[in-house]
Amino acid sequence: MKNINYGDRVILIDHKSRRHMVKLKETGRFSSQYGFIDHNDIIEAGDGGTAKTNKNFRYRIFSTTYTDYVMNLKRKAQIIYPKDTAQMLMEADIYPGLHVLESGIGQGALSMALLRALSNQGKLITYEIREDFAEQSKKFIDDFCNDFTEIHEIKLGNIYEGFEGTYDRILLDVPEPWHVIEHTENGLVNGGLIVVYIPTILQVKKYVDTLKSVGCFADLSTFEIIKRPWKVDGLSVRPEMWMYNHSAFIVRARKTSIN
């Protein structure tokens, strides 16, 4: 089935399960120690197909998933890893039609996940303080999820100083999220959710103390996601020697009226 085209990115997986992300170009050629494959042959084989190098090594061909794309980004800022992004979407209860505020943009990894979940219905406003990050992440977002960007607006600014509008959801990945809480009085609807990604426990303490001090947040939850991969190979069935351990804490809270 020919369902990939020039301009698309694909993942090529070799016989040792090594993965390569490749952008397909006319007259392009993928090369490795196992030989080369013309991009045209990759397109002929299609998503889920296989192609052989001139040295007769087989590569499996897959269209690029969200995880493939963000984990292969050449990073200038730390991204939120997919294991955490997935949980943040659930904790924030993201669905099409919501008005969502995000800050900061970094490499746009969380923005891309939000845009796909919103599916061009509602609004995503992303505040970012650094112009270079705003510009670079916009390129990544347009490159990977161009079909979902019509509801996205990136605003240059310091989220600690406040923001325009009122939102159903707020998602933050900035160093001092406690500065944003004062702006949620008018900026987050009652019943709205705020979900924050925080690397260290001292930042968590300051953030949660601030949430509690303003008296209009309830249903607080603080946790981290630890992903433990297993090896399942014949009689060797055991946890892998490595695991995805601490990345950051996630804190979820819900806005409520003050009595």
| DSSP of 12-68 | EE-TT--EEEEE--TT-EEEETTEEEEHHHHHHH-TT-EEE-TTS-EEEEEEPPHHH
42 or 92, CB closer to ligand SAM? 92
Helix, strand, coil percentages in the chain from 3-state DSSP, rounded to 5: 30, 30, 35
Q: How many residues at the interface with ligand SAM, by CB under 6 A?
A: 23
> Sign (positive/negative) of CA torsion 155, 161, 163, 168?
positive
Contact string (CB under 6 A) for ligand SAM, positions 148-177, x = contact: ----------xxx------------xxx--
Ligand-binding annotation for 173, yes or no, is yes
| Binding flag, residue 37, ligand SAM (CB under 6 A) | no
Mark 94-133 with x for binding to ligand SAM (rule: CB under 6 A) and - for no binding.
---------xxxxxxxx----------------xxxx--x
Per rule CB under 6 A, is residue 225 in the interface with ligand SAM?
Answer: no
Q: How far is the CB of 91 from ligand SAM (least distance, A)?
A: 15
Distance of CA 197 to the CA centre of its chain: 12
Provide the binding-site residues for ligand SAM, judged by CB under 6 A. Answer: 77-80, 103-110, 127-130, 133, 158-160, 173-175
